[in-house]
Amino acid sequence: MRASDIEADLTEVLCTEDEIHAKLGELARRIEADYEGRDLLLVGVLKGAIMVMADLARELERHVQTDWMAVSSYGAGTVSSGVVRILKDLDSDLSGRHVLIVEDIIDSGLTLSWLLSNLRTRGAASVEICALFRKPEALKVHVDVKYVGFDIPNKFVVGYGLDFAEKYRNLRDVGVLAPHVYS
Residues in contact with ligand XMP by CB under 6 A are 48, 73-74, 80, 103-112, 156-158, 162-164
Burial bucket for residue 4 (CB in 10 Å: 0-12, 13-18, 19+): exposed
- Segment near Mg ion (CB under 5 A); pick from 24-32, 72-80, 98-106, 132-140: 98-106
Q: Which is nearer to Mg ion, 47 or 146 (CB)?
A: 47
Catalytic residue status for 107: yes
Q: How many residues bind Mg ion (CB under 5 A)?
A: 2
Residue 89 carries which DSSP code?
-
Among 44, 48, 109, 149, binds Mg ion (CB under 5 A): 48
- Residue with smaller CB distance to ligand XMP, 28 or 133: 133
Which residue in the list 107, 144, 151, 163 is annotated as catalytic?
107
| Single-letter amino acid, residue 153 | P
DSSP E strands in the chain: the ranges are: 10-15, 41-46, 65-72, 85-88, 98-106, 126-134, 147-151, 157-158, 174-177
- Residue 103, CB-side half-sphere exposure with 13 Å CA sphere: 28
Q: Select 44 or 175, whichever has its Cβ closest to Mg ion.
A: 44
Region binding Mg ion by CB under 5 A among candidate stretches 82-90, 91-99, 104-112, 117-125? 104-112
Number of alpha carbons in the 13 Å side-chain half-sphere of residue 5: 3
- Contact residues: Mg ion, CB under 5 A: 48, 104
Residue positions annotated with a catalytic role: 107
